[in-house]
């Protein structure tokens, strides 16, 4: 029962109830019906017997019986007897035997040769003749036959009624539940496509499901608004912060150009300038990501030599690696042409390698490579750094996530890998990270050609 | 070369941004005078396109404030058909040129090139240093008579260097003039691009034109032998 859908459960329940009700009603009708038919037959029998006396006259000491007396009217046979039991007039149905004893004023039921009969006797003193008995007989078998027919009809009608009821119930339940399916479908679409702008839009009707749908929609309105406000907030705040930072930077530059500064003042100003620069960069990255959230970050696709691009970045990053006494090994295949956004692809390499260098201890090795086949370009960056623990590995793509929170390296925003992931995905590719704590990490991305 | 567009008509604003970006300019676009002022306050631009009729702050107000502050960035006014008065006021307030809407896009590009040329003091659209030349109109670059193919950002970078040849340009300056506000900054993107450009215009040739000035930035110049 638990596995059945609501649609089937309701259909079964309604069908069962309909069957039960119809059955009960039919049974009661049949019972009452048969009783009243028998009762009315008995009273008809009595009536005919009493009428029979009126059809007999005494003329000059003999009985004059009207011809109507012998007619079988309303299934009732009449016969008149003398006190001795001799048949005077009338008819007895075929197969009925006269062995049924005479019993006045009661309806007897006689079973003879497989047929059932009602027998009613009455006697009267006819003036100038003496007592005459009249017996009325009527067949119950034909009545029972009719009743049996009725029951048979009911037995055929009942399943038909059940089937009809089931079909009607099913279509009705289906129609009633249709809005529920729509609610489910909309919710699923929102989950799959991450599109909060979808609505259920149940129209008309004031039933409970329509109201549920409307409530759902208004909840979605609020959700979407909150979501959009949050995105807008990031974008607004970043814009608002950028202007004063630009002023701080330009003021620092102006002051630093003064020849009269002491070395201490110069160092202090430089620190302010560097930090402000880092902040500006962080805000730019936040804005970048907020544009990707709003699908507003455009790609400028150009055909480009990915080999040259990669080598250029690696040569530049080698300087950075050398400062930390890290060996940067490269393995770049020649002449790899792709279509992509040049600045973003440079960004991809810069972030991956900066990341590797910053998590690799002095004296370590970072290895980067690029290769291609007909369908895809594969790039990787491998380091002998601190690595990432298994439980943290899936979290590295999150914004502001840092493997080691104690690191206060302010040039590392914690946004680098989020950007990397977006860049790869925006080019239709994918990226994976493997890592072993204490041994190092491997980042490998694949871009379609 | 970085251009600011202040135009409140959204469709035109978007179109201008798109078309100018196709010409390797880095472009910021805003929809009203106040926003335009915020942008101008935080970055140097090479050319400003100002619509006169704008909400919050008119183009003329923005222009006047700009000139009062001693900023001489070339300004091109975009004006409606029937406002001769505005144009006169605009030119008097310090605009360098104007265009009447609707205008042909080719004309706008030509006017921008003229304004950029004026800054460098060059009379033709061909910039050159030594045996390296760059055509502002056709976006072609030649060295020793051989055409070099550059990506759009490389072209933008070389154009900026050539317009400022002989001047030492800091990384920040380069970053600001090559990328627009939407660019998510990175510490050594400029270095990567300079290296990139060197591979194309310097490495295959004997005489080097791009030079690193330690602690200051880069300069494009002919060094004496």
Q: How do residues B170-195 score in pLDDT, each as one tens digit? A: 888 888 888 877 676 666 888 889 99
Q: pLDDT: is B169 or B124 the higher one?
A: B169
**Dist. CA A155–CA A26, nearest whole Å:** 10
Instruction: Say if the Cβ atoms of A243 and B41 lie within 8 Å.
Output: yes
Residues of chain A neighbouring B193 (CB-CB closer than 8 A): 346
User: Using 50, 70 and 90 to split pLDDT, how confident is the model at B138?
Assistant: confident
DSSP secondary-structure letter at B169? B
Residues of chain A neighbouring B42 (CB-CB closer than 8 A): 242-243, 246-247
**Dist. CA A315–CA A370, nearest whole Å:** 14
**pLDDT of the residue at A447:** 93
Chain B residues at the A interface, defined by Cβ less than 8 Å, are 21, 38, 41-43, 151-153, 172, 179, 181-189, 191-193, 195-196, 199
Select the residue from A312, A352, A414 to test the B interface by mutation, using most B Cβ atoms within 10 A: A312
**pLDDT of the residue at A407:** 55
- For chain A, the distance separating the N- and C-terminal CA atoms, rounded to the nearest angstrom, is 53
| CA of residue A365 relative to chain centroid, distance | 54
- Is the Cβ–Cβ distance between B194 and B210 less than 8 Å? yes
Tell me which chain B residue has its CA closest to the CA of residue A253: B172
ipTM > 0.85 for the complex: no
**Dist. CA A180–CA A174, nearest whole Å:** 10
Quick check: helix, strand or coil at residue A118? Answer: strand
The yes-or-no verdict on residue A438 having pLDDT over 60 is yes
Instruction: Say if the Cβ atoms of B196 and A308 lie within 8 Å.
Output: yes
Instruction: Say if the Cβ atoms of A302 and B195 lie within 8 Å.
Output: no
Residues of chain B neighbouring A347 (CB-CB closer than 8 A): 184, 186, 189
DSSP secondary-structure letter at A71? S
Residue-averaged pLDDT of chain A: 85
Q: Pick from B41, B179, B195: which is nearest to A316 by CB? A: B195
**pLDDT of the residue at A425:** 92
**DSSP alpha helix (H) spans, A71-207:** 141-193
The yes-or-no verdict on residue A408 having pLDDT over 60 is no
Phi first, then psi: what are they for A124, rounded to 5°? -150, 150
Select the residue from B168, B188, B192 to test the A interface by mutation, using most A Cβ atoms within 10 A: B192
As a whole-number percent, the residues of chain A with pLDDT over 90 amount to 15
Q: Determine the distance in angstroms separating the CA of A284 from the nearest CA of chain B, rounded to an integer.
A: 4
Residues of chain B neighbouring A419 (CB-CB closer than 8 A): 184
Rounded to whole angstroms, what are the CA distances from A235 to A228, A244, A281, A296?
Answer: 11, 15, 14, 12
**pLDDT of the residue at A429:** 93
Rounded to whole angstroms, what are the CA distances from B7 to B57, B96, B175?
Answer: 12, 17, 25
As a whole-number percent, the residues of chain A with pLDDT over 70 amount to 97
**pLDDT of the residue at A403:** 64
Name residue A338's beta-bridge partners.
A304
**Dist. CA B95–CA B99, nearest whole Å:** 11
**pLDDT of the residue at B178:** 84
**Dist. CA B218–CA B166, nearest whole Å:** 10
Tell me which chain A residue has its CA closest to the CA of residue B39: A243
Length of chain B: 225
Instruction: Say if the Cβ atoms of B184 and A313 lie within 8 Å.
Output: no
Count of CB pairs separated by less than 8 Å, A with B: 68
User: Using 50, 70 and 90 to split pLDDT, how confident is the model at A96?
Assistant: confident
Using CA atoms of A185, A186, A187, A192 in order, give the dihedral in degrees to the nearest 10: 90
Q: Pick from A243, A313, A320: which is nearest to B38 by CB? A: A243
Q: Give the side-chain half-sphere CA count within 13 A for B8.
A: 15
- Is the Cβ–Cβ distance between A26 and A153 less than 8 Å? no
| Predicted confidence (pLDDT) per residue in A335-389, tens digit | 999 999 988 999 899 999 988 988 888 888 999 999 998 889 999 999 988 888 8
**E strands, A343-387, in order:** 365-372, 376-383
| Predicted confidence (pLDDT) per residue in B8-60, tens digit | 888 888 888 988 988 889 898 888 888 888 888 778 888 999 988 888 888 88
**Dist. CA A319–CA A378, nearest whole Å:** 24
Largest CA distance in chain A: 169
């Amino acid at each position: 029962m638990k596995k059945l859908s609501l649609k089937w459960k309701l259909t079964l329940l309604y069908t069962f109830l309909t069957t039960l009700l119809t059955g009960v009603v039919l049974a009661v009708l049949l019972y009452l019906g048969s009783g009243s038919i028998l009762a009315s037959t008995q009273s008809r029998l009595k009536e005919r017997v009493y009428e029979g006396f009126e059809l007999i006259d005494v003329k000059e000491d003999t009985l004059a019986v009207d011809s109507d007396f012998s007619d079988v009217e309303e299934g009732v046979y009449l016969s008149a007897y003398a006190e001795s039991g001799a048949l005077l007039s009338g008819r007895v149905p075929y197969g009925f035997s006269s062995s049924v004893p005479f019993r006045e004023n009661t309806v007897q039921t006689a079973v003879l040769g497989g047929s059932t009969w009602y027998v009613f006797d009455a006697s009267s003193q006819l003036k100038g003749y003496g007592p005459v008995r009249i017996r009325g007989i009527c067949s119950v078998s034909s009545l029972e036959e009719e009743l049996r027919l009725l029951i048979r009809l009911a037995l055929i009608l009942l399943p038909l009624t059940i089937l009809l009821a089931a079909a009607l119930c099913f279509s009705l339940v289906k129609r009633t539940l249709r809005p529920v399916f729509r609610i489910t479908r909309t919710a699923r679409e929102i989950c799959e496509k991450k599109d909060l702008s979808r609505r259920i839009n149940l129209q008309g009707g004031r039933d409970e499901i329509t109201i549920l749908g409307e409530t759902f929609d208004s909840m979605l309105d609020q959700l979407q608004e909150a979501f959009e406000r949050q995105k807008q907030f990031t974008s607004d705040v970043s814009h608002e912060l950028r202007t004063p930072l630009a002023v701080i930077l330009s003021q620092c530059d102006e002051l630093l150009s003064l020849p009269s500064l002491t070395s201490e003042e110069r160092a202090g100003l430089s620190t302010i300038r560097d930090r402000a620069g880092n902040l500006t960069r962080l805000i730019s990255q936040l804005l970048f990501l907020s544009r990707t959230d709003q699908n507003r970050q455009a790609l400028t696709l150009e055909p480009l030599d990915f080999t040259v691009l990669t080598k250029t970045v690696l040569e530049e990053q080698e300087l950075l690696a050398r400062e930390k006494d890290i060996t940067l090994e490269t393995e770049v295949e020649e002449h790899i042409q792709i279509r992509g956004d040049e600045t973003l692809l440079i960004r991809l390499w810069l972030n991956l390698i900066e990341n590797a260098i910053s998590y690799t201890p002095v004296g370590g090795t970072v290895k980067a490579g690029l290769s291609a086949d007909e369908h895809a370009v594969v790039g990787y960056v491998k380091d002998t750094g601190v690595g990432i623990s298994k439980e943290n590995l899936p979290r590295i793509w999150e914004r502001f996530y840092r493997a080691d929170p104690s690191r206060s390296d302010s040039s590392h925003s914690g946004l680098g890998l989020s950007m990397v992931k977006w860049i790869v995905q925006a080019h239709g590719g994918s990226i994976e990270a493997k890592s072993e704590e204490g041994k190092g990490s491997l980042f490998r991305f694949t871009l379609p050609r | 070369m970085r251009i600011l567009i202040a135009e409140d008509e959204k469709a035109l604003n978007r179109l201008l941004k798109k078309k100018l970006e196709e010409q390797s300019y880095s472009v910021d676009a805003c929809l009203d005078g106040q926003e335009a002022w915020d942008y101008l306050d935080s970055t140097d631009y090479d050319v400003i396109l100002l619509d006169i009729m704008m909400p919050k702050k008119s183009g003329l107000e923005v222009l006047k404030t700009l000139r009062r502050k001693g900023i001489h960035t070339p300004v091109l006014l975009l004006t409606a058909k029937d406002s001769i008065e505005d144009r006169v006021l605009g030119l008097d307030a310090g605009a360098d040129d104007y265009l009447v809407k609707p205008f042909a896009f080719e004309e706008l590009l030509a006017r921008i090139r003229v304004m950029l040329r004026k800054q460098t003091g060059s009379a033709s659209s061909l910039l050159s240093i030594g045996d390296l030349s760059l055509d502002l109109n056709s976006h072609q670059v030649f060295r020793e008579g051989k055409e070099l193919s550059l990506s759009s950002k490389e072209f933008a970078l070389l154009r900026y260097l050539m317009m400022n040849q002989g001047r030492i340009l800091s990384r920040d300056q380069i970053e600001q003039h090559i990328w627009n506000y939407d660019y998510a900054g990175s510490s050594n993107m400029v270095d990567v691009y300079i290296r990139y450009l060197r591979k194309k215009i310097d490495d295959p040739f004997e005489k080097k034109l791009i030079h690193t000035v330690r602690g200051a930035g880069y300069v494009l110049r002919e060094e004496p032998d």
